[in-house]
Amino acid sequence: MTYQEEFITFMVRSGVLTFGDFTTKSGRKTPYFINTGNYKTGAQAGKLGDYYAACIQENLPEGVDCLFGPAYKGIPLAVAAASSLYRNYGRDLPYCFNRKEAKDHGEGGSMVGYKPQAGDRVVIVEDVVTAGTAVRETIELFKSVAAVDLTALIVSVDRMERGTGDKTTLDELREQHGIRVFPIVTVREVIAFLHNHSIDGKVYIDDEMKGRMEAYLAEYGARA
């Protein structure tokens, strides 16, 4: 299997990628849900870092000075990705993350870990981007930290849904802020791989579920 197919299998086995009836934060009724909060073991963290690192290595083999994980879910992702990049590819990249509230004692400030410098090429490591709020907050945050180049965003799954307009949220981030976006997998790749394909003896996307997911994308997906 490709690392993308391995990642889809990993999400299913971890209980992170689930199918049924769910409601997103925006109120959309969705037949599938991705809850990265279900990752909870050291083994899972290690494997998750490997998939993020593989995506970074494939799409950004050079030109990266720092990984940034937006609080809170992005913090373990950035740490795991940095560890895996060193372990698997010999790339020792610094990482940092933000505090939700700036520290008013000790060294102070809102950043933990590496202190980004002007001109640094920073890659944001996130889980799943829906409205892009955390990414836009990160852009604002760095305006008061250093004049860095927010060069790319790595996400686990591109849901391929519309943002505030007719385009996907990730496409909006690309166009509005010049950030390159690289998902480990897209929802289309999830459908293609899991349709009538069993994992541990169970088919998660049968013809009925595929139809529901296609209908959801027809309603909420990007419009040409």
Residue 92 phi, psi (nearest 5): -95, 85
Q: Of residues 40, 47, 103, 195, which has the active-site annotation? A: 103
Residue of 29, 40, 47, 105 with catalytic role: 105
DSSP state of 221: B
Binding residue positions: 25, 72-73, 99-100, 103, 105, 126-134, 159
Whether 29 is a known active-site residue: answer no
Distances (CA, A) of 59 to 30, 53, 62, 95, 163: 30, 10, 9, 18, 24
Pick out the residues of the known binding site for orotate. Answer: 130, 159
Residue 103 annotated in active site: yes
Report how far apart, in Å, the C-alpha atoms of 68 and of each of 19, 51, 90 are: 30, 17, 19
Closest CA to 7 of 180, 177, 154: 154
- Residues labelled as active-site residues: 103, 105
